[in-house]
Amino acid sequence: MHLKATQQLTLAALCCALCAVFSQLQIPLPPVPISLSLLAVHIAGVLLGARWGTASICAYVLLGAVGVPVYAGFTGGVSVLFGPTGGYLAGYILCAALDARLARRFGFTRRGLWLAMAAGTLACYALGTAWFMFSTGTGLLGSLTACVLPFLPGDAVKIALAVLLCLRLRGPLRALGLGA
């Protein structure tokens, strides 16, 4: 394997591991725990780009699906993936891909990254909330109240932190010929 591809794969694996670790830093609220995992998703998407960033989050979701306890609360398995919160896990993949594409489109500026990550977060909310509604039979208002509204302030903080980290780390990664 070419050295650059090996380095990119290593960064993707690190972002996958970061997502697994950040998933454990949580406040266990029912029905959806508050965790830092979305912070890792934003970092992966923006810093690694669409291909590698999305691959790293796909690896995270697949690791959990086969039973490795990487999801919030050290859980894993297909039952979690297809449970009420599984749509948010699938939404992480969409979020990483959207973050990467929109960051390129809007530019790697504070404003551009904020817009990209906000759109990625909204896409994650949409997919996750739709699945939650489908799997639990909860209506839209109840689902938004349980699964979106409590997360808005924390996710705004995660976006702010991700923007700062991505702006700080992008230069050194690019100097090494890596990242997006």
pLDDT tens-digit readout, 75-91: 999 999 999 999 999 99
Q: Is 85 helix (H, G, I), strand (E, B) or coil?
A: coil
Query: Residue 180 carries which DSSP code?
Result: -
Q: Write the Ramachandran bin of 101: left for phi over 0, alpha for psi from -120 to 50, otherwise beta.
A: alpha
- Average pLDDT over the chain, rounded to an integer: 94
How confident is the model over 56-62, as a mean pLDDT? 98
Residue 1 has pLDDT above 60, yes or no: no
CA-based nearest residue to 154, from 30, 34, 22, 32: 34
Dihedral sign, CA of 105, 118, 30, 146?
negative
Is it the case that residue 177 has pLDDT exceeding 90?
no
The reported pLDDT for the residue numbered 88 is 97
- Chain-centre distance of CA 123, in angstroms? 11
**Quick check: 153 pLDDT over 70?**
yes
N- to C-terminal Cα distance for the chain?
20
- pLDDT at position 98 is 98
Confidence band of 63 (pLDDT split at 50, 70, 90): very high
Q: What is the model's pLDDT at position 4?
A: 82
For 37, the enclosing helix (H) or strand (E) is helix 37-65
Architecture of domain 3-175: Orthogonal Bundle (1.10)
Region of poorest pLDDT, from 6-15, 96-105, 107-116, 169-178? 169-178
Label residues 97-135 b or e (16+ Cβ within 10 Å = b). Answer: bbbbbbbeeeebeeebbbbbbebbbebbbebbbebbbee
